[in-house]
Every structure is written in structure tokens, then in C-alpha cells.
């Protein structure tokens, strides 16, 4: 079992950690916004067809730096957060059993929040998947690094073995490079609500099987034990190495996908394998991006308004993840303002950036008022019963 941590390490906020969380919200909203473009023809995998030069640039950036990269970053930070909760509870004198029960309760409420977001709001949810991931890795938290490393290697190898075959078969059966979207102009709220309330249990299963997050969560647990972001100043050289290697692997793994339909048209089965490679190498981006913000945090000696605003957002990432997804539904979905049926990829990208900027402004106001995020406050009361 890990030794009990120093209280001081977990009583302070880490700029690096909160910066990473704040930036993560931008990546997520940029990844989800194009999913509402139901009048656009499918492009490559989750991207809509490019209608011009700017759309092509946006899609290329998305494929290189965002798609299947925001999710692993979320997973790494989630795993890191599990360690922080675990060690903070132990430092308060709680037993391992009590601490695991607390984390389990938090994961169940995270799943509940995800159900509300997916079913009642209609947003693109990943909270259910991470809540389930937390339940699946709790047993590793009190165990040593040897067990953690073995589990990480085993699960990653299994993922690397089955994922290319599954995606190759799926894309080949689909008979095209792009997924398209399930939305249509005839969709109404009650119809989508009825469909989602029946299908929502499939959402986390779909994510865990086709877009595995467990390896990234386990990497986050390792990073949390090392306190790479909480004590980032002690690991500056290591963080630079992790960031450069992780992001390089990610970009190399994304290049084959970027090249599809740009003078190269592989078979559909091969395209599915390329998509699987994109997903797998995205795990390297998850830890690489997190490490990059450790490096950035080390370089900030006197935080100014921008840094303070981004860290304010990062402290309230649960609240603003749900708010951002809600705003995307209101602005883009056919059940509300239906901008997703009228705009191009460029237009919804601008909408996504605007939603994120609005979140930064609101988070800054809450910080100045010394108020926590509403969902963070609610989660705290539900989990810790106070």
C-alpha cells in the first residue's frame, strides 16, 4: 500500500492541474460541436465533410489534436483526481474501506449526473463512462505500483489486439469512411427523450468497448501517485519528456487518418484499422497534454488574469462540462435553435469556442465571488453528506 501523504500536498490547488482541466473543456466542446451537423455529408470518421479550405483546416486540426485526444486527457485527469481523493481521505484518518466507499459513492453520483445529461438534456455524455471506470479501478487504489503497472500493460495490450479488428470490421460493414449523425430536422424533444431513456445504458458500454478509457484512467492514477501535477516543479524535466514523447506519438498516430481522402483512399477495413490506431495513440496524447500543462504551470511565476480565469474554470470542470454540453444542445440541436442544421463546420466551431469563452467568464465571476461550481457543491454534499 502507498504511504500516507502529507496533508499540505492536498490542501493546495495546483495551477497545472486546473489549467489542464480548463483547457480540456475546450477540447471536449470542439470535439462534440460537429456531431450536431446533421445536414452535412459524413467526412472522415466523426468529422463532417469539408466544404472549403477553412473547413479542411478545422477538420485536420481536429483529427491531429482533438478527436480521441480530449477523451483520454479527461480520463488521465479523472484517474489523477481519484488518487487525490483517496490520499486526502487517508490523510484525514479514514480507513481504506471507508475511503473506497466514498469514491464508489462519488462514481455512482457521476453516473447519475451523466444519465441526467444524456436523457433529460440530450447532451453528449462521457460522465457515465468515467463513473463506471472509477468503479472498475477502485480495487487498484490501495495496491502498489507493481499491480497498477501490470494492470495497465495488460488492459492496454488487450485493447491494442481487439480494437483494430473491431473497427476494421465495423467500417467495412458500414461501407464508408464517415459515421454521419443520428439527428434529423424532424427530431422533437419527446422523441429523443424516449429513444435515449431506452438506449442510455448502451452509451458507457459503447465508449468502453470502442473508445476505451480505462488505460488512460490507470495512467492518470500512476501520475497522481507521482504527484506530477500537484508537485510539477519537482518533475519539470520528466514532464517535458512525457509531453514531447506523448504528443509526438499522438501526432504520428493521427497522420494516416489525416491523409485519407487526400489523394489516398484505403479499403474500408484498412480505414477502420487506421481509426483504431488513432484511438490507441490518443492515449499518449492524454498523458502528453496533461504533462504539457505541468510544464506550462511551472513557467507561470506571477499568474495574471488569463491564468486565473482558466484555473477558475478548471476548479469547476464538472459544472461547466454539463453547462457547455447543455448550451450545445440548445444552440445546435433540432429540438431548440437548430443551428446545427444551418451552419457549416466553421460555424459550429465558432459556436463551440464562444460557449467555452462564456464558461471562462462565468467561472471567473464565481471565483471573484468565492463561490464553488453548483455541481461541485452538490457533489460534495451528496458524497461527503455535509
DSSP letters of 200-260?
TTHHHHHHHHHS--HHHHHHHHHHHHHTTTTTGGGGHHHHHHHHHHHHHHHHHHHHHHHHB
Q: What is the pLDDT of residues 148-160, one digit of tens each?
A: 999 999 999 999 9
Count CB-CB contacts under 10 A for residue 183.
Answer: 21
- For residue 95, being part of any structural domain is answered with yes
C-alpha grid cell, residue 386: 455535509
According to DSSP, the residues that pair with 160 across neighbouring strands are: none
pLDDT (tens digit per residue) in 71-127? 999 999 999 999 999 999 999 999 999 999 999 999 999 999 999 999 999 999 999
Q: Per the domain annotation, does 66 fall within a domain?
A: yes
Give domain status of residue 2, yes or no.
no
Nearest in space to 38 (alpha carbons), one of 337, 343, 326: 343
Cα–Cα distance between 236 and 295 in angstroms, integer?
6
Give the count of beta carbons closer than 10 Å to the beta carbon of residue 12: 9
Q: Do the Cβ atoms of 359 and 26 come closer than 8 Å?
A: no
pLDDT of residue 182: 81
Q: Residue 386 pLDDT more than 90?
A: no
In a domain, 1, yes or no: no
pLDDT of residue 355: 98
Number of domains in the chain: 1
> Which single residue is written with the C-alpha cell 484555473?
311
Confidence (pLDDT) at 170: 96
Q: Can you tell me the distance from the alpha carbon of 308 to that of 71, in angstroms, rounded to the nearest whole number?
A: 24
Q: Which domain holds residue 243?
A: 7-384
End-to-end CA distance of the chain: give it in Å, rounded: 29
Cα–Cα distance measured from residue 333 to residue 331, given in angstroms and rounded to the nearest whole number: 6
- pLDDT of 7 strictly over 80: no
Which residues have C-beta within 8 Å of that of residue 164, sequence separation ≥ 6? 272, 273, 276, 277
For the question of whether the overall pTM of this predicted structure is more than 0.85, the answer is yes
pLDDT of res. 11: 40
Q: pLDDT tens-digit profile of 251-269?
A: 999 999 999 998 899 999 9
Examine residue 233 and state whether it is found in any structural domain, yes or no: yes
pLDDT at 8: 42
In a domain, 160, yes or no: yes
- Average pLDDT over the chain, rounded to whole? 94
Residue range 37-49: mean pLDDT, rounded: 94
Cβ atoms within 10 Å, residue 346: 16
Mean pLDDT of the 50-76 span: 96
Contact 63, 374 (CB under 8 A): no
pLDDT for the residue 302: 87
Identify the pLDDT of residue 13: 55
Percent of the chain with pLDDT over 90: 90
Single out the residue of 308, 223, 236 nearest to residue 18, CA to CA: 308
- Number of CB atoms found within 10 A of residue 229's CB: 28
Give how far Cα 386 sits from Cα of 141, 226, 377, Å: 24, 30, 10
Phi, psi torsion values for 28, nearest 5 degrees: -65, -45
Whether the pLDDT of residue 173 is over 80: the answer is yes
d(CA 288, CA 239): 8
- The model's pLDDT over 312-370, given as tens digits with 9 standing for 90+, comes to 999 999 999 999 999 999 999 999 999 999 999 999 999 999 999 999 999 999 999 99
Grouping H, G, I as helix, E, B as strand and the rest as coil, residue 317 is helix
**What pLDDT is attached to residue 130?**
97
Amino acid at each position: 500500500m502507498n504511504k500516507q501523504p502529507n496533508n499540505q500536498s492536498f490542501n493546495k490547488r495546483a495551477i497545472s492541474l486546473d489549467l489542464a482541466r480548463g483547457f480540456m473543456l475546450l477540447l471536449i466542446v470542439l470535439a462534440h460541436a460537429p456531431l450536431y451537423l446533421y445536414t452535412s455529408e459524413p467526412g472522415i470518421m466523426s468529422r463532417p465533410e469539408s466544404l472549403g479550405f477553412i473547413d479542411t483546416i478545422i477538420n485536420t486540426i481536429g483529427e491531429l489534436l482533438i478527436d480521441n485526444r480530449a477523451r483520454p486527457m479527461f480520463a488521465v485527469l479523472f484517474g489523477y483526481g481519484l488518487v487525490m481523493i483517496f490520499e486526502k481521505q487517508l490523510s484525514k484518518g479514514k480507513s481504506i474501506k471507508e475511503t473506497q466507499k466514498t469514491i464508489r459513492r462519488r462514481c455512482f453520483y457521476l453516473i447519475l449526473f451523466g444519465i441526467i445529461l444524456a436523457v433529460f438534456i440530450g447532451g453528449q455524455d462521457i460522465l457515465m463512462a468515467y463513473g463506471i471506470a472509477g468503479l472498475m479501478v477502485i480495487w487498484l487504489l490501495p495496491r502498489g505500483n507493481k499491480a497498477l503497472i501490470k494492470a495497465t500493460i495488460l488492459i492496454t495490450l488487450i485493447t491494442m489486439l481487439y480494437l483494430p479488428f473491431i473497427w476494421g470490421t465495423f467500417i467495412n460493414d458500414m461501407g464508408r469512411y464517415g459515421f454521419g449523425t443520428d439527428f434529423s430536422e424532424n427530431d422533437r424533444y419527446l422523441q429523443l427523450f424516449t429513444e435515449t431513456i431506452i438506449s442510455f445504458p448502451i452509451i458507457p458500454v459503447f465508449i468502453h468497448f470502442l473508445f476505451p478509457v480505462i488505460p488512460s484512467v490507470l495512467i492518470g492514477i500512476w501520475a497522481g501517485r507521482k504527484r506530477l501535477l500537484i508537485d510539477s516543479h519537482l518533475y519539470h524535466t520528466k514532464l517535458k519528456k512525457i509531453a514531447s514523447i506523448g504528443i509526438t506519438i499522438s501526432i504520428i498516430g493521427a497522420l494516416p487518418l489525416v491523409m485519407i481522402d487526400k489523394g489516398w483512399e484505403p479499403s474500408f477495413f484498412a480505414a477502420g484499422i487506421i481509426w483504431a490506431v488513432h484511438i490507441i495513440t490518443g492515449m499518449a496524447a492524454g498523458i502528453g497534454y496533461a504533462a504539457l500543462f505541468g510544464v506550462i504551470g511551472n513557467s507561470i511565476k506571477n499568474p495574471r488574469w488569463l491564468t486565473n480565469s482558466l484555473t477558475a474554470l478548471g476548479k469547476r470542470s464538472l459544472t461547466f462540462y454539463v453547462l457547455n454540453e447543455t448550451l450545445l444542445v440548445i444552440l445546435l440541436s433540432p429540438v431548440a435553435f437548430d443551428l446545427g442544421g444551418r451552419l457549416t463546420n466553421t460555424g459550429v466551431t465558432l459556436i463551440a469556442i464562444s460557449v467555452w469563452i462564456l464558461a471562462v467568464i462565468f467561472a471567473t465571476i464565481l471565483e471573484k465571488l468565492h463561490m464553488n461550481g453548483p455541481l461541485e457543491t452538490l457533489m460534495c454534499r451528496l458524497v461527503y453528506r455535509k
